[in-house]
Every structure is written in structure tokens, then in C-alpha cells.
Structure 1
Amino acid sequence: MAAPSWSETLAEALTAAYMNSGLLDQNRATLRAADEDVAQALAELRPVLRWTGNIRREYGYSGGTNTFGIFVESGRVNQTASINLIAEIVLYAGGRNKLGLDAAKEQVLATRAQLVAIEQQVLLRAAAAFMNIRRFAETTALRENNVRVIQQELRAARDRFEVGEVTRTDVALAEARLAQARAALAAAQGDLIVAGEEYLAAVGVKPRNLVNPRSLPKLPASVAEAKKQALYQHPELISQQHAVTAAELAILIAKGAKKPTVSLEGSYGVTENFDNSAYSRGGSITLGASGPIYSGGALDSSERQAVANRDAQRGRLHVVLAEIEQNVGQAYANLRVARANRTSFEEQVRAATVAFRGVREEAKLGARTTLDVLDAEQELLDARASLVGAQVDEAIASYQVLSSLGLLTAEALHLDVPSFDPSAYYNLVKKAPRNRSKQGAELDRVLKALGKE
């Protein structure tokens, strides 16, 4: 964990995590796929124009007796080519096509909110990884200092043993404590390496000379106010609300499948014979209707399934509401505990520092043993390590509160990242543009910029 000459702040780490997140890229692509569902649903409301073409060769033989009683055999070959242009539009389908468009739009809104929830997960993981580097780096530094201090105590104990001031037991106690301190140092160094790997995975770069944040984010003063905000703006709740609406539309679509379908079809074709100059040209206009009479119970089953899915989504909505309130309450409780611990450990460090200095001076006068000094030094080390842990826990708890409120986003944190507009791609594809249209050309440029073509 060698530190270079420049430093990295928490905001810079969060920015890097946002920019390097494969999870965000994955879910942005998922959002684009949902946007395309809207384009495809819109296409169901438009006429379809298609063509068919074929070349046909007919051949065969026939035979029979003519009027003179002579058997005659003849062959025939007929070669034709035809091409047809067909236009078709569904005039009525029980409202299914329009409802399908509305349902696709609801799914887009749900996916957008889910993308914000994923963004919160990415940033919370990065914040925790940043703060844990501090936890284990400072713990490692404390362990290293502890080893140095005990080494000094061991040398002093050996010197005093040489002059007969202490016994061999005191020296052995110091040696045992030094071995314990070295083992603890090795464990702390291992924890720091593991934290560094987590930081690399969460942020996308190796940890540098991290600068501790000077302040923690501002939070609502009361839990009640925080819960009220969370129930208004949390992305998980917004996503689930749209999922419920989409499920309700699915019921209407299932009911519409029982209604008749009315379509209009027009065609025009040309057929020419290769063997002679014969040809035909013509077209037709057909107004058709169809509808189910008996489907083996499949349509009724689909409707019941849609109702069950709607009920499941409504139940999930109640679960999400309860989870959001619970998460807010737990986050504030964890924050209060961390703050209380920090205050307590600050006092413990102050008292342990005074005690250690006093015991060390008393040991020089022979009023304390080497074991007393080692115990006092260990208590001070433990208090300092606990204080660092409490400070880190307080910082992580603060960002957990932000996440529970739905405010742990790049926009809310004012991170220096390119602005992501979830509606930009949607606006390009919502009218289902063709590649050769003006909108299609603009869409091609966007996809090329995304590196998707």
C-alpha cells in the first residue's frame, strides 16, 4: 500500500467507482433493451408492408387415345414468375396492442428506477471499501508501532535482568507479548491486502494515498422525517409501483385476448409467363375478423395467471414499503451506535494514554512490573484500534442512511461524472425509427459512441 505523492479523496473514489462499474453498464444496457420494447409495442399499432416473390416451373406428361384410336403422349412445361406487395393493419384487437404499449412504458420506468437502485449499491460498496482501507491501514500502523514499543520493552527488560532488577519471568513475558504482537501485525497486514482487493473490485483502481473525509453527509434530524423522505423517493419503491401498474395492464391484455381481432389487408401482384406473353396483374382488399371460440381453457388460465402476478406484485410492494422503513430505522440505529462508540472510545483512548504513561514511569521506579507495562500498552492499543473502527463505522453508517433514503447517487452527491440521461436513448427509439430515417441515423451515431456496433 505504498502511497504516491498525490492523494485520493472519497469523492474521487466514488467517481471512479461510478465510471468503472460494469454493473452499471450492464443495467444501462438492460434499460436500453426495455426502451426497445416500447418501440416494438408501437410497431404493433402500425401497418405492416411486406412483399413475396416466386418463380414456378410446372411440368408433366399426359397421354390418351385420339379419335382415330391412336395412343398419343404429350408433355407440358409452364414457367411463371410472380411478385406481390401486401399491406396489413390490425384495426381492432381488444385493446391489446395499445395496452401492450402502455405496459412497455411502465416497464421502462420501473427499469430506470432499478438502475438508480443499482447505482446506490455501487456507490455504497465503494464508500465502504474506501473507509475500510482507512480502518485496516491505521490498524496496521498501530500494530507496527506496538511491535516497536514491545521490542523496546523487551530490550529494557533484558537490561534490567542483567543487573538483577527483574526476573527471567519478566523477560519471558515480554518475549511472549512480542510474538503475539507480531502475529497481530501479520493479521492486520493480511486484512489490509484483502481490503485493497475489495477496493480494486469496488472502485476499479488500486487504493492510493486515501484522504479521510473532513465531514460526513448531512442527514434528516429525525427517523420519522427520514422514513417519510424514503417512502417518497426511494428507487426500489418507485420501481415496484411501476411493476404493479404493468401487472394490472397485463390483466387487461389477457382479457383482450378473448375479444375478436379485425384486420385490413391489401395486396397487389404481377404474374408473368416465361413461355409466352401471358401475364396477369391485380390486387385485392380484404377486411377480416377472427376470434376465439374454444381454446382448451388457455385464455382463462392466462387471465387467472395475470391476476395472480398482479397480486404478487402488490404483495411485493407491501414488502418493499416495510423493508424501506426497516432499513431507514436500522441505518439510523447503527449510526447512533457508531457515534456513541466513537465518543466512548475517544474517552477510553484519553484515559488509557494517561494510564500507560503513568505505569511506564512507575515501572522505571520499580513500583510496576514489566507485565503491568505490557498490559497498559495493550489496553491503549486496543482503545486506539476500537476508536478507528468506530470512526469508520460511523462514516459507513452515514452513507448507509443516505442509501436507505435513496440519496446515494452521483447526482445527489454532486460527483464529477458525465451526466446520464435515462430518457435520451428512449427518446430516440420510442417512435421505432428505421435505420434509413433521420432518427435512425442519429440512433446509429449513439450506438457507435456506446461501442455497441
Structure 2
Amino acid sequence: MSGTGFRRKVMTGITTVMLAVSGPVAAQADNLANVLADAYKNSGLLEQNRALLRAADEDVAVAVAALRPIVSWAADLSRSSSRYATSSTFFTPRDSASTTVSVGLSASLLLFDGGASKGQIEAAKETVLATRQALVGVEQNVLLQAVDAYTSLRTQSETVALRQNNVRVISEELRAAKDRFDVGEVTRTDVAQAEARLAEAQAALAQAQGDYQGAREYFIAAVGRNPGAMQASPPAPATATSIEGAKALAVKNHPDILQAQHQVAAADLAVVVTRASMGPQVSLTGSYGIEETFDSTAFSKGGSVGIEMSQPIYYGGRLSAANRQAIARRDSARAALRLSSISVAQNAATAFANLQVARAARVSSERQVRFATVAFRGVREEATLGARTTLDVLNAEQELLNANANLITSRANEYLASYSLLANLGLLTADHLNLNVTRYDPAAYYNQVKNAPALLSAQGQKLDRVLRGIGKE
């Protein structure tokens, strides 16, 4: 076989292996929709914040209870003894003892407090709505982290495959260099260059495998289960088409702004409540009791009903301080709303710009791969004619490797940027993505407790069973 024919055969084998690098990685089973659904179902952070929402729901029940009758009972058992001496006993000491038992019921009903209790109810409702939006924010973070974990795992998986192919390519190049050295076509330097490049490729493969294990652990933490084989990523979701459109959508939908709006409403009501607490309060009161003294014939029973009116006159300045504090917190909440609006709009604009940059980088990376492939083929053909050295081929191969690595990264960055923009618009939710999961209904528990059911009522017992079930999960 001629030298040229030998070189052509070797380089054709190398090219076949090398071009396989840029081909798709075969995978199936685990798609993004399943990943997001499992992250939603398995998130401990979501469970934590759902419990916080249920606690906020109960604040409404607590506030409602202030307008309900308060009924309580009390019982007392006492034993008294004494020693006395009087003229009737000729001043002879006598002992006396008695046992008394009393049982009583008391009740009170708030009739008027200047609207303080109703204000507390409305403030608690606004706090519930704010907490619901906080839960939406947590949901977005959980889903975005799942997208990041999924994308990272796919990226590292493709990088490992790329590095494995690179090791095979360099191994083939090294074998070819040794064969050509044996027939005197190249020097020992060419072989050493190929050996050095193989060592570098093996080190890069070991790093990629380590990064893959890290990405796998990240996936487990974010999704709550082990990953399966990765399917090809579905198309990125459609988002805003302009910066102004992105800002408008974000200001309208983002949970941070909606949460801040409800917090402002709650703070406004808190000012009303503190002012009303300085006014008069009217209550209806009643009591009924029985008292029995066992060591005598004493026995009594009776009750009373009355109207009680009270108003603070001087509390050491505490009420005025509470009112000023409520005003300051209201002003703080309003300022927080303004800052949140600015921040959300800025983040949406930045996320939109980042997506455009990532998209342009992906297009450039595709062109880089295309031209690096052409260049590699050209160098390979020139090498078969003896016009290029082994180092030239290795360098061309490295350029193509780098181009493919950049493409993997740029595709991942664009994909993650699209979901990041969706989150900054307030749309990265199970509802908007139509995930195949049982949605958590934030109003379900609220509707059960908003009327403050008592423990002994049928509704209260049902709630008790629900809470015990949640605790066993």
C-alpha cells in the first residue's frame, strides 16, 4: 500500500469517529414534563410553605372568633377552718370547719369596638392572599430549580459523551501516528504529541464524569428522585416578544408584586385597627352559678346579665405608639411595593436580554461547529497528502471538540434562559405549564376554617382528621 493510501485509510477512520461527536445522544424515558411534575409533588419546600399558608388561614378564624360569644366555666372546692371564743361560749375555744363547692358559667359577647375586630378580619384575609402569592413564588423557584437540574444533567451527560468520543478519536490518532512512525512517515515527536493529547483528553473525561455525578446529585435534590435516561428537551415555552412586553407582563403577573399589594392592604387595615382600639368597647355579659356549703344549710344559686362599656383613658402611651408603629409599617409596605415593581420590571428586562444573548450565542455556536467541521475535514484531507502534520490534525480536532462543547453549553444556556424569563414574568407555575399533577388548592383549607369551626363541631372534627392525615404524610 502506498504512503498516501495508508494515510487516507487511517484519517478516514479518525474522521468517522470524530464526526460522531456532533451526532445526537440517544436517550429516552425522562422528559422535562415528568421532571417538573415530580419536583412539584416531592418538594419539601412547597410542603413547608403550604403549612405556613394554612397557619395564615387560621388567623382569619382567630379574628372571626373575636365577634363570637365567649363561654367558659369555672369550679371551686374549698375547705375552711377556724377557732373562735366568744362570750356565748364563756370564752371557751371552739373549732369550726366548712366545705364549699361552687360551679359557674360565664359568657360575654362583643357588641361594639369601633370596627377593630372587623378590621382585623379583613387584615387577616389580606395576609392570607399575600401568603398565597408567596407560595406561588416558592413554586416558581422549585420549578426553575428543576429545569436547571434537568438542563445541567443533560449538559453533563452530553459532555461526557463528547469527551468519551474525544478519547476514542485521540486514541485512534495515536494508533495512526504509531503506524506511520513504524513505516517512517512521521517522527517520534508526532507520536509524543498524540500521547500528550490523549492524556489531556482522559483528564478532561474524568472531570466531565465528576461533573456528571455532581449534576446527578443536584437533580436528586431538586426533583426528589433518581434521574432516568434523558429525553430530548421539548421546545422552550413562548414568552414575551419585547422588553416592554416582558416588563408589562411581569408587573401584572409576578407574585412578588401581588404579594406586596396585599401586604399594603393589610398594613392599611392595621392602622384602622390601632385607631379603633382607642375608642369605646361595649360587651354583653352574663353569668350563672351554684354554691353549696356541705357543713351547713347554706345554698345559693343565681345569675346576672349586663352591658359592660369600657374605653382606655391612659395606657402610658402604648396605644399611641402602636398607632404610630402601624402607620410606619404601612409606609414601609407602600415603599416595598414600589421597590418590588421596579425590581420585577428590571429583572424581567434583564431576563429578556439574557435570552436574546443566549439565543445569539447558540446560533454562533452552531456556525462554529459547522465551520470547524469543514476545517477539520480539510486538514484531514491535506494530511493524507502529506501537506499537514499530526499536530495540525490534532489542533483541528481540538477546535471541533471545543466548538461542540460550546454548542452544548449555549443550547443549555438558551433553554434555561427561556424558563428564567418565564419565571420573571410570573408564569412558571404548574397551572401555566399544564403539568400532569394534582394541583394544590390554596382556597380549599381556607374555606374549611374561615368561619372558625369549633373543635367539637362536625366541621372541626373533620379538620382534625385532615390535619392528622397531613402529619402522617
- Specify if TM > 0.5: yes
Amino acid at match of 2:467: L
In structure 1, what is the equivalent of residue 71 of structure 2? 49
1:269 pairs with 2:264: no
Secondary structure at the aligned position of 2:93 is classed as strand
Any residues of structure 2 matched to 1:202-281 within 5 Å, and which? 202-281=222-301
Give yes or no for contact 2:151–2:412 (8 Å, CA) kept in 1.
yes
Any residues of structure 2 matched to 1:52-201 within 5 Å, and which? 52-65=74-87, 70-201=90-221
Separation (CA, whole Å) in 2 of partners of 1:54 and 1:155? 100
CA shift, 1:394, in A, is 1.0
In structure 2, what is the equivalent of residue 13 of structure 1? 35
In structure 2, what is the equivalent of residue 425 of structure 1? 445
Amino acid at match of 2:386: G
Separation (CA, whole Å) in 2 of partners of 1:62 and 1:25? 69
Q: Unaligned stretches of 5+ in structure 1?
A: none
Amino acid at match of 2:51: A
**Which segment drifts farther, 121-130 or 255-264?**
255-264
Give yes or no for contact 1:4–1:209 (8 Å, CA) kept in 2.
no
CA shift, 1:280, in A, is 0.6
**Which segment drifts farther, 157-166 or 173-182?**
157-166
Amino acid at match of 2:315: S
In structure 1, what is the equivalent of residue 313 of structure 2? 293
In structure 1, what is the equivalent of residue 59 of structure 2? 37
Amino acid at match of 2:218: E
Change (3 A) 1:6 1:137: closer
Separation (CA, whole Å) in 1 of partners of 2:104 and 2:472? 36
Separation (CA, whole Å) in 2 of partners of 1:4 and 1:371? 32
Give yes or no for contact 2:27–2:231 (8 Å, CA) kept in 1.
no
Separation (CA, whole Å) in 2 of partners of 1:247 and 1:225? 31
Match of 1:325 among 345, 350, 366: 345
What whole-Å deviation, never above 9, does each CA across 1:3-48 have from its counterpart, x for those lacking one? 9996011000000000000011011111100000000100011110
Change (3 A) 1:4 1:135: closer
RMSD, aligned α-carbons: 1.8
Amino acid at match of 1:221: T
Amino acid at match of 2:42: N
Q: Unaligned stretches of 5+ in structure 2?
A: 1-24
Q: What count of residue pairs does the alignment treat as equivalent?
A: 449
In structure 1, what is the equivalent of residue 20 of structure 2? none
Question: In percent, how many aligned pairs have the same letter?
Answer: 53
Secondary structure at the aligned position of 2:407 is classed as helix
**Which segment drifts farther, 325-334 or 293-302?**
293-302
CA shift, 1:74, in A, is 0.9
Separation (CA, whole Å) in 2 of partners of 1:171 and 1:30? 66
Q: Structure 1 length normalisation: TM-score?
A: 0.95
Secondary structure at the aligned position of 1:173 is classed as helix
Separation (CA, whole Å) in 2 of partners of 1:306 and 1:49? 32
Separation (CA, whole Å) in 2 of partners of 1:446 and 1:276? 52
Secondary structure at the aligned position of 1:406 is classed as coil
Give yes or no for contact 2:28–2:230 (8 Å, CA) kept in 1.
no
Give yes or no for contact 2:246–2:352 (8 Å, CA) kept in 1.
no
CA shift, 1:110, in A, is 0.4
In structure 2, what is the equivalent of residue 410 of structure 1? 430
Separation (CA, whole Å) in 2 of partners of 1:78 and 1:436? 38
Separation (CA, whole Å) in 2 of partners of 1:174 and 1:318? 62
Separation (CA, whole Å) in 2 of partners of 1:420 and 1:65? 83
**Which segment drifts farther, 131-140 or 430-439?**
430-439
Secondary structure at the aligned position of 1:7 is classed as coil
Give yes or no for contact 2:373–2:400 (8 Å, CA) kept in 1.
yes
Separation (CA, whole Å) in 2 of partners of 1:147 and 1:423? 57
Give yes or no for contact 1:4–1:208 (8 Å, CA) kept in 2.
no
1:352 pairs with 2:364: no
1:375 pairs with 2:414: no
